[in-house]
Structure 1
Amino acid sequence: MNQILYGPPGTGKTHATIKETLRILDPAHLQTYEDSPKKLKERFDALITSEQARFVTFHQSYSYEDFVEGLRATTNDDKQPEYVIEPGVFKRLCDDARTQGVQPNAGIRSNPRIWKISINGSGASPTKNYCINHGEARIGWGDTGDLRAEERNDYYKKLGIGDQGTLTYFAQDIVPGDILLMLHSAEMIGAVGVVTGDYRYDEMTPDGIRDDYQHVRLVTWLYHDLKLSILPLNDNKQLTLKTVYPIDRFTWGDLLSYLEQSGVVPVKGNDATGERKPHVLIIDEINRGNISRIFGELITLIEPSKRVGKEDALIAVLPYSKKPFSVPDNVYLIGTMNTADRSLAGLDIALRRRFTFKEMPPRPDLLDGTVVKGANMEGVNIGLMLRKMNERIEVLLDRDHCLGHAYFMPLHDTPTLAGLGFIFRQQILPLLQEYFFEDWERIAWVLNDQNKSPVQAFVQKASTNLASLFGPGVAENLQNMDRRWRINADAFGNIESYRGIIEVAA
């Protein structure tokens, strides 16, 4: 459920996340097109577009506010600055994972709006019971007539602005797929439903309900008889008396999480345990971020045993929104880790305990059939060359700093000397400079330059006469202190320079 792909740079970790993602989200496609990287990438891109898979890269400045939730500065309608709580990438993913697939036949739209509705006041009533039992939501002011009419009658025109706004909300602004939250009292939710039909007006009301409750919307009531406090979700604020209005303090994901954590069961026939789509978050360079700062309390919640529905499930209260939060069991985390930046031993212990690790070592065997030839038709086996360089790096540094095969994979289809020279000049040599902190002598050892003729060496010692710079006396003292090296540009176009990497004898 939580895994990290780790290895030196250039071993295809980021590319491997495509297969790992498809293994979770679309295993049939992976099995059919496993040998077609293009088809796999196309399907992966489609999953990214649909946000069933998401991608983020950790860095030193990445924070909890980016990952979970935080305050964002914005301006209101009056152009005044204000701060709003905005969910981060992980919370958005969890909210979608929690809601997609739930009530699959109920018609809940993506990111539905939540509306508070009061049907005949608080507490129980025949009108409220009728609506619950017959799949409806009704409100009063029936003397206005049909709100779809082009002209409004005198009764409507005499209503206050607030009441007119309520009728507009009910007849026009609420759309099928939105969520209705019926109050039981100012502090308690009585029922939760999804709007399934457009507005209609009943000339005659059914027996047993209020005569003026003629404005109607069809609703599938998913939960009722709740008597569940609204305060933890609504910033400890009660619901107001207005009959219909939108609720912006929490989302459908927040509400569903709260219902699940409260042990609420949906009514029979509205099974909320339908299969939920798995969701994947890919965290590239996971070891480059400050894990404690980014994950916060989530470092415990992401454990498989602590997910929603598990025996040891945990709930945390988020510090900004003060809302209860848990991690669904259909969320998968895939991280990549460059061991050249930080070894596995140096990784945060809390993170290591909650992830499984899959090593991605260099694969020189993938290049054993790749041969680059020079003008004299002499060739160099790229797989053997890479293997030799990595063996030397392991001796001089460690296996975490080996060179990945991905750098040389372009040569698999186009094995040209120019292409090999470009790879060495632009990628391999700069990487070795970083690894060895520009210790050119050790870089030369990796390239076996000490066993080549000077014209074949990639790295050459400077040949300036020290006596001409400092005089004979000083030059003798500096002879073993001269650390000047130069890069031999001609070697990048010389096939013997690459062949010499393999051969130890001059």
Structure 2
Amino acid sequence: MSHADLDDAWKADRFEQLRQRLKDLREDFAAGGTEYKILMPKSDKPYNRLSSWRSWLGQYGQFLSGEPRGERDADRIRQYVLEHYIETGRERDAETVDLLVRDVNEALGLNQAWPNICQAITGPKFLEIADVEPPERIGANQSSATVFRFRLNEAGSSNAGAARGSTKPFVLFDAVGAAFKPVLNHNRQTGRSAYRIKPPGASNKADEAVEVATIAEVARAMLVDGRPARVQSVSGGTVNYLAYGKQKLVRYELDPTIAKQIGVPPQGELGQAMNLSRDMFKRPEPQYEMDQYVAQPTNLILYGPPGTGKTFATAAEALRLCGEPVPQDRQELMAAYRRLSDAGRIEFVTFHQSISYEDFVEGLRPTQASEDGTAGFELKPEQGVFRRLARRAETSTGPGDVEFSIGSRQVFKMSIGEAANPEDAHLFEEAITGGYTLLGFEDIDWSDDRFADRNSIIEAVRSQGVREGGEPNAMSGRVQMPFIFRNWVKPGDIMVVSKGNSLFRAIGEVTGNYQFVPREGGSYAHRRAVRWLWVDRVGVPVSEIYARNFTQKSIYLLTDADLNVPALERYIASQQDAGTDAPEPFVLIIDEINRANISKVFGELITLLEPDKRIGQPNALKVRLPYSGDVFGVPANLHIIGTMNTADRSIALLDTALRRRFEFRELMPNASLLHTVEGIDLGMLLASINERIEYLFDREHQIGHAYFINCKSRADVDEVMRHKIIPLLAEYFYEDWAKVAAVLGDGHDSEGDREGGFIDRRRLKPPKGNASDEDAAPRYRWSVRDAFSYDDFAAV
């Protein structure tokens, strides 16, 4: 080529011609040509080496572009897979390489980052750099057991056939060995495509086959009276793994090490394959999900006594469900949690006795009847926290493979026509399609340099005549809007397009300077080129990115203090090269979930929350909401975590409908997390208190370790005991101080006065005129000591 070296080639076209030339050589070899000999005259297998060279150029190009690498987990994942799988596979001339997600996670020291790994190595950035086609996924989706198969050598028909031959459909056999095909059978009456499965013991007649439509039904049909249908591979070879592929059940011959790691025992003969089919089809249904991405929703309630770290545990669980690494350090964990919360991926709400369906799902709220404020009020449906988060989850197209930073850019609100006026609807569509934004106000060309001055704009507007609003001045809309549009907006700034005052429907990056483009019929002749980054014609509430509603002004600068920058960046990134199109997970945390009237708050959500009834699941349901009339379903990528204090309300009293739809995970006190403080064994103290509470009351009213976790000195321990533990015990036992004293180890063997470690008891004398001392039951005055004694809990 004409380039002197790689630096010269990079400056010319960023390696575009060079990489294309290498691709041409590779395709020429695949077609039987020998052009590759100009580079490798003695090689007879150049295909993988040519692919590696294209991959290396991609990596070197990233380096030359100055793109930061090696810091983010996604970069580390891509680099590791390139070096340890793709390039090493090509060096040994392998046709395919299999990658187990768990191996990558452990090699890089990540914390359950299965979604991160899956997205990083299937996104367009990695595929471009590695010079590979999208991999084939084997087994579960986005889990530690997910296996990706990359094809490295597709040159020549024999090689390509070998690569594709690694996945073959299996055939079912009857008792005498006659093949019975499980091919797709389209049912014209129901419109469903079905598999025909012949159960064991049935004759070889088609009418005795079982028609099924989903892979879960295939699994159930394969097992009749606990016996599996007989399974054998087409080639008669090893059956390692059976999974659902593109419109067929397929067999994968996996590396034995990987097969063992994901729980698939090595199998050989037909009888062993039968055992394999039994084991595989007993696995949970998510193992047999459809080929496209379908999130597996989580409904989880963390319950236990007070102080066991339930609320804090929700932060770690939320990060895990969002596919983020879970740091061990508390500060790092909370920083990551706040980052996702700011971006709108996590919402936190606390239930109480007064919360209602209207607060949680949707309700009617008074709003101005007209946006200019000239009329009265009317009731309009307003979305609650659940609907807002469900909307984000439903419209998510993935985290995107291109990060976007607002940085120092200015962010403007802009109207393109009147959203409520059907006659202006074409303006928005024209702007989105044409890649620009439009502004009305006067058919005057503001391109001349003199219009950088506001007074010149005022004079030009004045020449058009006085209109409604009086003499034009600096604050007139006819002056202010063109001045901002022409002079304030700069290339690189962000435009947020409104839909009325309460919604926004597009976000774009300004890429050009002011232009005057007259239109037929006049108006909306002012234009700026815009690269539209995010579009949702239905509209999203302004509260998602801004602290207040928009105003009627056509264009103005949004204030930094009210702008939610992380949320705005997330919306932008969500439509930038989404890669696998796997939607981002979202998490709703409901603290104290048992304190509300569940039936009243959840309404129809009680049914819609079930995992199999989520959008995209086999039994998906939608309902029409009572206030807005919208058809609504709960997306599968919305996870719900609740916390429940068992001391506040027993789990046995919780709404049965809710209990059936949630997984419950108990968090109990863990005394082993506590240490010794100035000679006080806090672990022994907590364990002793809880043992006595359980004896005198029940296990649900124990004391959590979180009360003492931050104690650094004896004074801290005294503070916790005096102002938290003792009042809580008094509440538990309804001011029965004898039991409080017993829990604290201040029991009394006699009827006399006694000083305890925490509580003192003094006998009260009966007043004169009452029964004699011998007949009167003794009564006592109980008091918390000024100084506590921890002698019984001294560290050994």
- TM tier, shorter chain? 0.5 to 0.7
What is the SS of the residue equivalent to 2:755?
coil
How many residue pairs were aligned?
A: 426
Q: What's 1:358 paired with?
A: 665
Q: Give the conservation status (yes or no) of the 8 Å contact 2:616–2:636.
A: yes
Q: Give the conservation status (yes or no) of the 8 Å contact 2:303–2:664.
A: yes
Map 1:320-399; keep pairs closer than 5 Å: 320-367=627-674, 369-373=675-679, 380-399=680-699
Instruction: Determine if the alignment matches structure 1 residue 71 to structure 2 residue 358.
Output: no
Q: What's 1:265 paired with?
A: none
Give the whole-Å Cα distance in 1 for the aligned partners of 2:494 and 2:445.
19
Cα offset for 1:396? 1.7
Q: What's 1:276 paired with?
A: 583
Q: 1:59 aligns with which of 330, 337, 352?
A: 352
Instruction: Determine if the alignment matches structure 1 residue 314 to structure 2 residue 621.
Output: yes
Pair 1:159–1:465, CA change in 2 (3 A): closer
Between 1:439-448 and 1:77-86, the stretch displaced more is: 77-86
TM-score, length of structure 1 as denominator length:
0.66
Q: 2:608 aligns with which of 273, 298, 301?
A: 301
Q: 1:431 aligns with which of 728, 752, 757?
A: 728
Q: 1:97 aligns with which of 390, 393, 417?
A: 393
Q: Give the conservation status (yes or no) of the 8 Å contact 2:363–2:627.
A: yes
What is the SS of the residue equivalent to 2:747?
helix
Cα offset for 1:137? 9.0
Cα offset for 1:312? 2.1
Q: Give the conservation status (yes or no) of the 8 Å contact 2:302–2:644.
A: yes
Pair 1:452–1:382, CA change in 2 (3 A): farther
Map 1:231-246; keep pairs closer than 5 Å: none
Q: Which structure is richer in relative contact order (CA contacts within 8 A, separation 6 or more)?
A: 1
Between 1:144-153 and 1:382-391, the stretch displaced more is: 144-153
Pair 1:486–1:60, CA change in 2 (3 A): same
CA deviation vs aligned residue, 1:140-175 (integer Å, no higher than 9, x gap): 99x9465778587999879999xxx9xx99999999
Stretches of structure 1 that go unaligned for 5 or more consecutive residues are: 182-191, 231-244, 247-268, 374-379
Give the whole-Å Cα distance in 1 for the aligned partners of 2:311 and 2:356.
22
Residue identity in the other structure for 2:638: V
Pair 1:488–1:140, CA change in 2 (3 A): closer
Instruction: Determine if the alignment matches structure 1 residue 494 to structure 2 residue 792.
Output: no
Give the whole-Å Cα distance in 2 for the aligned partners of 1:314 and 1:424.
51
Cα offset for 1:486? 0.7
Q: 1:470 aligns with which of 761, 770, 786?
A: 770
Cα offset for 1:372? 4.0
Give the whole-Å Cα distance in 1 for the aligned partners of 2:702 and 2:393.
38
Q: Give the conservation status (yes or no) of the 8 Å contact 1:180–1:195.
A: no
Give the whole-Å Cα distance in 2 for the aligned partners of 1:211 and 1:431.
74
Q: What's 1:88 paired with?
A: 384
Residue identity in the other structure for 2:785: A
Give the whole-Å Cα distance in 2 for the aligned partners of 1:476 and 1:215.
102
Cα offset for 1:47? 2.6
Q: 1:410 aligns with which of 710, 716, 719?
A: 710
Give the whole-Å Cα distance in 2 for the aligned partners of 1:422 and 1:213.
69
Cα offset for 1:364? 0.9
Cα offset for 1:305? 2.1
Cα offset for 1:59? 0.5
Cα offset for 1:314? 2.0
CA deviation vs aligned residue, 1:347-386 (integer Å, no higher than 9, x gap): 111211222111100001112x42543xxxxxx4221222
What is the SS of the residue equivalent to 1:336?
strand
Q: Give the conservation status (yes or no) of the 8 Å contact 1:283–1:334.
A: yes
Give the whole-Å Cα distance in 1 for the aligned partners of 2:776 and 2:360.
55
Cα offset for 1:50? 2.9
Give the whole-Å Cα distance in 2 for the aligned partners of 1:194 and 1:498.
63
Residue identity in the other structure for 2:373: D
Cα offset for 1:213? 10
Q: Give the conservation status (yes or no) of the 8 Å contact 1:7–1:400.
A: yes
Cα offset for 1:112? 9.0
Give the whole-Å Cα distance in 2 for the aligned partners of 1:399 and 1:133.
64
Q: What's 1:46 paired with?
A: 339
Cα offset for 1:450? 2.0
Pair 1:272–1:463, CA change in 2 (3 A): same
Superposition CA RMSD, Å: 5.0
Give the whole-Å Cα distance in 1 for the aligned partners of 2:481 and 2:617.
40
Stretches of structure 2 that go unaligned for 5 or more consecutive residues are: 1-297, 452-456, 470-476, 500-504, 539-552, 555-575
Residue identity in the other structure for 2:716: G
Q: What's 1:187 paired with?
A: none
Give the whole-Å Cα distance in 2 for the aligned partners of 1:442 and 1:200.
80
CA deviation vs aligned residue, 1:422-462 (integer Å, no higher than 9, x gap): 22111111111111111222222222322579222534444
Q: Give the conservation status (yes or no) of the 8 Å contact 1:458–1:497.
A: no
Give the whole-Å Cα distance in 1 for the aligned partners of 2:429 and 2:362.
39
What is the SS of the residue equivalent to 2:639?
strand
Give the whole-Å Cα distance in 2 for the aligned partners of 1:129 and 1:496.
78
Cα offset for 1:37? 1.1
Give the whole-Å Cα distance in 1 for the aligned partners of 2:429 and 2:386.
40
Residue identity in the other structure for 1:446: V
Cα offset for 1:468? 4.0
Residue identity in the other structure for 1:455: E
Cα offset for 1:193? 8.3
Map 1:170-181; keep pairs closer than 5 Å: none
Cα offset for 1:132? 9.4
Give the whole-Å Cα distance in 2 for the aligned partners of 1:155 and 1:218.
28
Cα offset for 1:177? 5.8
Cα offset for 1:496? 2.9
Q: Give the conservation status (yes or no) of the 8 Å contact 2:399–2:584.
A: no
TM-score, length of structure 2 as denominator length:
0.44
Pair 1:103–1:117, CA change in 2 (3 A): farther
